[in-house]
Structure 1
Amino acid sequence: MKPYQQENISASTLYVVPSPIGNLEDITLRALSVLRNVDLIAAEDTRHTGFLLQHFAIKSRLFSLRDYNEQEKLGALLKRLGYGESIALVSDAGTPLINDPGYHLVRRCREAGIVVVPLPGACAAITALSAAGLPSNRFCYEGFLPVKRKARLDCLESLEKESRTLIFYESTHRLLVTLEDMITIFGRLRHIVLARELTKIWESIYGAPLGELLPWIQKDKMRRRGEIVLIVEGYSMPADFMSPKALHTLSLLLFEFPIKKAAALTAKIHGIKKNALYRYALEHQRKHNLVSKFTL
């Protein structure tokens, strides 16, 4: 396909069309072409999408498809696709299905052999990640955390040792309690980036350790207003971390060698720092009132 040529709309095809997350100029030429030429647009909010269509002078028909009615509307949309109509799926902002309706429709289309064509475009999670300054070669998207605190803490605890960069969405009124819970599970030193109102007039991106970010937000209510993405640094093993296997090796060698020699051999076997092992052995000996048969 040549760049920027008009989209050739196919019959009986579902197009997944991202829409701007703020700045209307972020919509792609291909997305505009699809929206102009499909038979029907299935929209999360017809009023919101109507404003977008009006801005670009697009007069395609709209069909409401929200979280609460997606299951009951599936039959009508699948019937239209079966009759040869083309449909564009859009959400209020960003890429459909990413914390937005559309999953059930896309799944049923795939099961029924109906062609699904995805278009690239805006996504708040990826936009925030690209500017966060945190590792982006490996990341996991977690969406919104549970509303209830117990479930939220359980979810965060399951991610405590996740080494990939973590991406969350959060609402204005839950941001502070979420950050407090993150401090409880991740600790005050874990780095986090708050991306707010991306591509809009009041866009701001600020990063700091969790223990510093929370008071920074508390100083100004405006810092927690709007649509929020949280990018959290993944877990990294402390430099002096000693695995259970390494500690078991150390304990065995301490029966045969002085602490310094046992620590050096264990370090060589497991590829960790001998000084940390030496300090651990000394502390372990003190706590348990052990006396070595060797001279330190």
Structure 2
Amino acid sequence: MGEIKRMGRLYVVGTPIGNLGDLTPRAAEAFRTADAVCCEDTRVTSKLLAHLDISRPLVRCDENVIATRAPQLVERMLAGETIAFASDAGMPSVSDPGQVLVDAAREAGVDVEVVPGPSACVTALVASGIPCEHFFFEGFLPRKHGERVRRLRELAAIPGALLFYESPHRIEATLVAIAEVFPARCVALCRELTKLHEEVLRDRAPELLETVRARGELRGEMVVVVAPPTADELASRTSIPVDACETDPDEALRGDIREALAAGEPASAIAKRLSQRYSRRKREVYDLVLELQDA
């Protein structure tokens, strides 16, 4: 009888969001076991592996290339290799391109094992002091002010805290939109989480905006936590405009995809952003992007 070849697997590995002391022994073992490590930025992950005294081949899998490399990686796993995927920080697939590889592996029947680790959104939610019995993670808001405000208004009726990721150069613009839509809500800006200069700024949205403007440039990746709506606010939003009922969500999605393609945005980035906005599977949106791209 011929030798039975064993299928490999995919490790999805959570990594520290700032403090290397948060790396788990299980995460280190997953890296040691892997035949190769996929990552967003090879420079970031090479430093992490060096800290662990581990040497493994690195494969860049950021949002620009992961869709094209996923089939080859799946073939390697089907042939018996073990692949580990790590984001630059935090849990892969959470506002992250790793979901493309996870989907491809599962569709091919490859075992996917998640190695839990730190998560910036959950860490910020707890650090914010804002009630967190219920919460909704949005990821990054749209780049344009009008689209950003429209999306915030769509989220206004969610009966829980709202969480957003943001970068230093866009934080003021995001707080402008939040103050416009939620002027009475408490907002927490959490930055440099788990690092030496961790900071949580908390105030009503307009006041927090003024504080950030007065502080000037802020550094580090950020998470914005918006308090849940009050009962009165929810009651005022119970009526749904007629035109909102008549809107075809698929056509609205197609319109946003066409606009993004015209602007030159990469297909994988479009799928990531719009799958969050429309609460659709990233793979489904990505297939639609390719369909419209070829049309």
Establish whether TM, by shorter chain, passes 0.5.
Answer: yes
Q: Structure 2: how far apart are the matches of 1:243 and 1:146?
A: 23
What is the SS of the residue equivalent to 1:238? Answer: helix
Change in 2 beyond 3 A, CA 1:244/1:169: closer
Q: Structure 2: how far apart are the matches of 1:33 and 1:57?
A: 12
Among candidates 236, 249, 271, match of residue 230 of structure 2 = 236
Bigger CA radius of gyration: 1
Q: Structure 2: how far apart are the matches of 1:160 and 1:34?
A: 41
Q: Structure 2: how far apart are the matches of 1:240 and 1:79?
A: 50
Q: Structure 2: how far apart are the matches of 1:104 and 1:240?
A: 36
1:86 aligns with 2:82: yes
* Long gaps (5+) in structure 2: 1-5, 240-295
1:63 aligns with 2:59: yes
Among candidates 160, 165, 168, match of residue 161 of structure 2 = 165
What is the TM-score normalised by the length of structure 2? 0.75
Residue 230 of structure 1 aligns with an amino acid whose one-letter code is V
User: What is the RMSD of the two structures over their aligned residues, measured on CA atoms?
Assistant: 2.0
Q: Which has the higher contact order (CA 8 A, sep 6+)?
A: 2
Among candidates 88, 92, 116, match of residue 96 of structure 1 = 92
Are the equivalent residues in 2 in contact too, given 1:172–1:228 (CA < 8 A)?
A: yes
Are the equivalent residues in 1 in contact too, given 2:157–2:237 (CA < 8 A)?
A: no
Number of matched residues? 234
Q: Which residue number in structure 2 is paired with residue 205 of structure 1? A: 200
Residue 201 of structure 2 aligns with an amino acid whose one-letter code is Y
Q: Which residue number in structure 1 is paired with residue 221 of structure 2? A: 227
The CA deviation at 1:237 is 2.1
The CA deviation at 1:216 is 1.3
What is the TM-score normalised by the length of structure 1? 0.75
1:16 aligns with 2:8: no
Q: Structure 1: how far apart are the matches of 2:216 and 2:237?
A: 44
Q: Structure 2: how far apart are the matches of 1:73 and 1:22?
A: 28
Q: Structure 1: how far apart are the matches of 2:48 and 2:234?
A: 54
Q: Structure 2: how far apart are the matches of 1:51 and 1:119?
A: 19
What is the SS of the residue equivalent to 2:133? Answer: coil
Q: Structure 2: how far apart are the matches of 1:24 and 1:69?
A: 27
Residue 230 of structure 2 aligns with an amino acid whose one-letter code is S
Q: Structure 2: how far apart are the matches of 1:74 and 1:50?
A: 21
Are the equivalent residues in 2 in contact too, given 1:37–1:60 (CA < 8 A)?
A: no
Q: Structure 1: how far apart are the matches of 2:75 and 2:149?
A: 43
What is the SS of the residue equivalent to 2:232? Answer: coil
Q: Structure 1: how far apart are the matches of 2:233 and 2:212?
A: 31
Kindly indicate which of the two structures has a greater share of residues assigned to helix.
2
What is the SS of the residue equivalent to 1:219? Answer: helix
Q: Structure 2: how far apart are the matches of 1:229 and 1:27?
A: 21
